Amino acid sequence: MEEVELDLTEQEAIRRAKLDKYKEKGIDPFGQKFDRNTWSEDLKAQYTGLTHEELDEKNVIVKVAGRIMTLRDMGKVAFMHIQDKKGKIQIYLRKDVLGEETWEVFKLADIGDIVGIEGQLMVTKTGELSIKASTYTHLTKALRPLPEKFHGLQDKEEARRRRYVDLIMNEDSKRIAFARPKIIRGIQHYLDNLGFVEVETPILDPILGGASARPFVTHHNALDMDFYLRIATELKLKRLIVGGMEGVYEIGRLFRNEGMDATHNPEFTTVEIYEAYGDLSSMMDLAEGLLRTLAKDIRGNEVFDYQGKTLDLSKPFRRLRMVDGIKEITGIDFASITDVNEAIKLAEEHGIELGEHEKNYGHIVNLFFEKYVEETLIQPTFLYEYPIEVSPLTKKNKVDPRYTDRFELFINGKEFGNAYTELNDPIDQKERFINQLKEKELGNDEANDMDIDFLESLEYGMPPTGGIGIGIDRLVMLLTNTDSIRDVLLFPHMKNNK
């Protein structure tokens, strides 16, 4: 077979040349299993503060493994720092302790290699907790050098494309990566303790529903059917409420074929929660309790800094009607407007362009909110009573049927959650679906399809129910003080790197 020519840097060529030297010594350059028994930060937590004499008396023997991050070879002694998943620890190596043969293996080491160390804990003259190596085991040769120590991957886009290098070099990236599963476990623990049951629903769905969004479409060959990648889990989860499960939630990926920015990625993670015999106020209480608990667990306090702003989750979240929020900013009282032509005229006067499906009261109110109010909601705010036109799955408000019992939770000008008193009237729900189909004909490519099976399930009777969806990616951003969704996703979607 003809060998492929590689365009190697000088450093890469030197490293590859060492592969044969390992093999000559009977060592696999890419290693075997290594039984370590501890991690760097666990050792520091337990033994930092002890003197050299105290540690020597304890004779603590440990086995660690990790990546070489620094290396100082001074002839017959050497120092290195190795990095494991929890942090770094210094290794002290002596030729007379390791022996001639092992020392020759060590001399082949480069920064970035992965090694195993067994040795005795000690404290150096400078007071640094270290391991005096009694055995040195080469585990994996790194054929590419790491970025420079003090620069790492400074280019954000490059860091996101090569997350594996970013995690090696950037402690903050590693902090976020480990915080995310902790946040998800916190959500599960909180909901489980309230008696909710975690379930799973299909990702492929023949019906577009549960939210207003453009979908991804795929084809199932065996069934010869087109499917959507789900844009929400809502309609499946509400079927489970009909079935008597009473309290359910799902943490999972959703897929929306839409734009990308600091808070939007085409695939993202949410938790959707449904509670039989609940309503909008139940979901407000649940959301407040969940976010406060996570803030204490992750940030250590219900009051914390986010991107230079102090956010206070300790107080009851503000509750604001959408039309009242618009009135506060613009002076326009949409609650008193009953003529759609008057609403259309106001939109024109304020430079708000309307699509054909948006020339109605509800869409105009929502567009005013998005233009003037949304970004002003810095402290946690439940914005409620959304117009019926933009809430096809929500129960009508008893006082004014132009609105629904729906809220969205806003923090720092961004939406974090969307909640309803769920619509459980199948006759009303069918009318809403019909109106969605009319909007689709007028050009709204985010409108819901008619879900006949869901309507049938409602006809068996769904108890009064509260439901909420919370964006986990944005929640991770908030709780890790991160300003881009791409930095809380290990592998965000990126444009082709041409």
User: Letter for the amino acid at 281?
Assistant: S
Paired tokens of 61? 């023997």
Q: Do the bridges between strand 87-94 and strand 77-84 make them parallel or antiparallel, or are there none, so unpaired? A: antiparallel
Q: Which whole-number Å values give the CA distances from 231 to 79, 127, 248, 250, 259, in the listed order?
A: 53, 55, 18, 13, 14
Q: pLDDT digits over 292-320, tens only?
A: 999 999 999 999 999 999 999 999 999 99
Checking if the pLDDT of 419 tops 70, the result is: yes
**Confidence at 478, pLDDT banded by 50, 70, 90:** very high
Q: Which whole-number Å values give the CA distances from 178 to 87, 145, 185, 488, in the listed order?
A: 12, 25, 11, 10
Checking if the pLDDT of 152 tops 80, the result is: no
Q: Which whole-number Å values give the CA distances from 254 to 34, 202, 216, 250, 473, in the listed order?
A: 39, 11, 10, 11, 11
Q: Which domains does the chain have, with CATH numbers?
A: 10-146 (2.40.50.140), 169-317+379-487 (3.30.930.10)
Contact criterion met (CB below 8 Å) for 327 and 376: no
Paired tokens of 303? 């009051």
Contact criterion met (CB below 8 Å) for 363 and 387: yes
Compute φ and ψ for 127, nearest 5 degrees: 90, 15
Q: What is the pLDDT of residue 485?
A: 95
* Widest pairwise Cα distance in the chain: 92
**Confidence at 1, pLDDT banded by 50, 70, 90:** very low
User: Letter for the amino acid at 213?
Assistant: A
Paired tokens of 244? 């008597």
Closest CA relative to residue 18, chosen from 102, 117, 143, 114: 143
Q: Which residues pair with 252 in a beta bridge?
A: 270
Q: What would the mean pLDDT of 59-76 be, rounded to a whole number?
A: 97
Compute φ and ψ for 179, nearest 5 degrees: -70, -35
